[in-house]
Structures are given as structure tokens and as C-alpha cells.
């Protein structure tokens, strides 16, 4: 895996983490009507970001 692919994987994982956190906290708690769907979707996005980050770390460790 070359360095460009690794950078893209790390950036994608970061975007998933940020989108998940934003969806869980900002959208759910600032709306007039508390919507549990935002929390569920945010949790799924955050979980995908965590899995991608772990995958990126393992591929980076194996590359070295």
C-alpha cells in the first residue's frame, strides 16, 4: 500500500469520526425536537471511523 492510499484512508477515517461526532452531539442536542435517529446514525458513522482508523494504524505498522 503506497503512501497516497494510506493518506486517503486516514483522511476518510478522520471524516467519518468528525461526521459521527457532529451528528451525535451537534445535530441531536441543538434541535428543538430531540431525535434519536441522529444519535444512531452518528454512532454508526463514528464506529466506522474508529474501524477505519484501526485499519489505517495496522497497515501503517505493517508497512514500516
Q: Among residues 19, 21, 18, 13, which one has the least CA distance to residue 51?
A: 13
Give tens-digit pLDDT for 10-62: 888 888 888 888 877 776 566 655 677 777 888 898 999 999 888 888 888 88
pLDDT of residue 29: 63
19-53 b/e with 16+ CB inside 10 Å = b?
bbeebbeeebeeeeeeeeebbebbeebbebbeebb
SS3 for 33?
Answer: coil
Identify the pLDDT of residue 24.
78
Residue 32 dihedral angles phi and psi, to the nearest 5°: -65, -35
pTM higher than 0.75, yes or no? no
User: What domain range includes position 12?
Assistant: 3-63
Number of compact structural domains in the chain: 1
Amino acid at each position: 500500500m503506497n503512501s497516497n492510499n494510506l493518506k486517503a484512508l486516514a483522511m476518510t477515517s478522520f471524516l467519518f469520526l468528525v461526521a459521527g461526532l457532529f451528528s451525535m452531539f451537534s445535530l441531536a442536542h441543538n434541535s428543538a425536537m430531540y431525535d434519536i435517529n441522529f444519535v444512531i446514525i452518528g454512532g454508526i458513522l463514528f464506529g466506522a471511523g474508529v474501524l477505519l482508523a484501526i485499519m489505517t494504524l495496522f497497515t501503517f505498522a505493517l508497512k514500516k
